[in-house]
Amino acid sequence: MPQLLHTLTTLLLLPASIKAVTLDCDHIRVDKKSFDLSALAGPKTVHFQQYLPPTISNTTYTIDLCKPLKRNTSIPKAEQCPSGTRICAVDEHFNTIEHTRQIDEVRTIAGEFSTSHGKAMDPRVTRLKESSNKDEEGLRIELNGGRYPDARGGQEQRAVLELICDVERTGNEGFEEEGESKAMDVAAYGAMARRADDNDDKDDEDDGDDGAPELPDLDKDKSLQFISYKTESDVGVLRLTWKTKYACENAKDLPSTPDEDKKKKGKSGSSNSWGFFTWFIIVLFLLIATYIIFGSWLNYNRYGARGWDLLPHGDAIRDLPYLLKEWVGGLVERVKGGGVGGGGSRGGYSAV
């Protein structure tokens, strides 16, 4: 019996223990200071590219700080990280000779997998002033739970994010819809390689550079930047920096950025106009319904009316289809009559 009670208690506490290891972006409390990072929610990508002749390597790191990444139904399941992932890395190679694309690795960097292979995200949040020698204001967030390969004995993965206080940035700069579509396709990478080969032929005479193509900066102007990914103490560690005003200790007192003002103005304008028409329709409907209900009750109690006679102005409502038909017919005749011989003619008749 005691063993059964212990098992039931463990099962009841399991959801609470799982919830405790997640990262609550709405309320982060560190050293008696509160931070709200909910504005940084949503998937965001950074890249690391290399020219490895004859291929160009591109690793895309996708992160959602506040909730697990959603599956993309248009991409094969094998090219995505499992459910519960917060940070996923996809390593792909573009062959500039054969013009082919190949996915080499899909690495789960961080996530909550307590119910699957037992690895918890175990977030650890510290202030930059306390976790490093830098005199910078911000947060250092460490996320765990990943493993590659995703099997027993796979290398543990970890992400270290340094959120740096920057009063001029929200942290979402560079992640607009057009900014997220900068990824290169096979044809574009092939064109870059051909230009590099042409430059290499010209530079051979002048002892120039090695002819490597100039890869596009897919993360230009982004607040989130890739720093490094390497093995540290047998753990694959991804390091990122993120400039945002929400990492400032006085973020609530900071003025809105121009981008925030623009978004707030657009949202408030659309919500106010939509709200006005919505309330207008609701109030109009309630007034009409009240009039009909009260009028019907009055006719029933005062005159003992039944059926159509219950409705206020029942005769007018009953005749409404015929009145409307007559009005439309008259309007059509006017249009036809006015179209013969120009506006307002008498159809050929003249006054005597």
Q: In the chain, which stretches have pLDDT less than 70?
A: 1-21, 117, 132-134, 177-212, 257-274, 315, 338-352
pLDDT of residue 179: 41
Please tell me the distance from the alpha carbon of residue 92 to that of residue 102, in angstroms, as a whole number. 6
Q: For the purposes of burial, counting CB atoms within 10 Å of the CB of 285, is it exposed (0-12), middle (13-18) or buried (19 or more)?
A: exposed
Query: Superfamily for 21-257?
Result: Mannose-6-phosphate receptor binding domain (2.70.130.10)
Q: Which residue has the tokens 């409404």?
A: 320
pLDDT in tens, 252-290: 877 776 666 665 565 555 555 567 778 888 888 899 888
Helices (H), 207-313: 258-303
Backbone angles phi, psi at 106, to 5 degrees: -125, 105
Please tell me the distance from the alpha carbon of residue 279 to that of residue 286, in angstroms, as a whole number. 10
Please tell me the distance from the alpha carbon of residue 155 to that of residue 153, in angstroms, as a whole number. 7
CA distances from 131 to 109, 125, 140, 160, 183 (A): 21, 9, 7, 12, 34
pLDDT in tens, 135-179: 789 999 999 999 998 877 889 999 999 999 999 999 999 987 544
Peptide bond into 68 cis (omega under 30): no
Q: Are 139 and 30 in contact (CB under 8 A)?
A: yes
Name the residue ranges covered by the structural domains of the chain. Answer: 21-257, 271-338
DSSP 113: B
pLDDT of residue 345: 45
- Give the residues across from 43 on adjacent strands: none
